[in-house]
Amino acid sequence: MKSKIKKITYSSEETIQAACDFAKTLKAGDVLLLEGDLGAGKTTFVKGLAKGLKAKVKDVVSPTFVLMNIYQGQMPIYHFDLYRLEKPEEIASLNVDEYLQSDGIAVIEWPKRLGADMPRDCYWIEFKHISETEREINISVMQ
């Protein structure tokens, strides 16, 4: 891991704004791996990414049951949620690698499910509950 940014947010709105600000630094082909417990703020963070990339924030929902959502903005956001997947063949059927290093931003919740196929050049974003409304967000660059 190269560099690390630590951010504490005290509400969903602050998490959205932090992600919105971060989105302005992203470029096509970037990959974001989001790790954290259920309810830790991963999808809320994606709402902020959508806001920062001029996509419709209201369209952002957790893709837990559909596995991937695409949000159109300045560039597409490919939002994956691997929570329900356990078998390598289930993950392979998503063709995640087609969306990595693409024309948009790939965002993957529960990336450890990718196992050995986890991307190397990416942002690792970890979410931790501090309290009911307070979150610690750690952003690292992995290479």
Q: Quick one: three-class SS letters along the chain?
A: CCCEEEEEECCHHHHHHHHHHHHCCCCCCCEEEEEECCCCCHHHHHHHHHHHCCCCHHHCCCCCCCCEEEECCCCCEEEEECCCCCCHHHHHCCCHHHCCCCCCEEEEECHHHHHHHCCCCEEEEEEEECCCCCEEEEEEEEC
Residue spans per domain, the chain: 4-142
Report pTM. Answer: 0.89
pLDDT in tens, the chain (143 residues): 456 889 999 999 999 999 999 999 999 999 999 999 988 999 999 999 999 999 988 888 876 667 888 999 999 999 998 887 777 667 777 777 777 878 999 999 999 888 878 888 899 999 999 988 899 999 999 87
pLDDT of residue 1: 47
Q: Give the CATH number of domain 4-142.
A: 3.40.50.300
* Unique residue bearing structure tokens 């419709």: 56
Residues 6+ apart with CB under 8 A from 127: 34, 35, 36, 37, 40, 41, 42, 45, 135, 136, 137
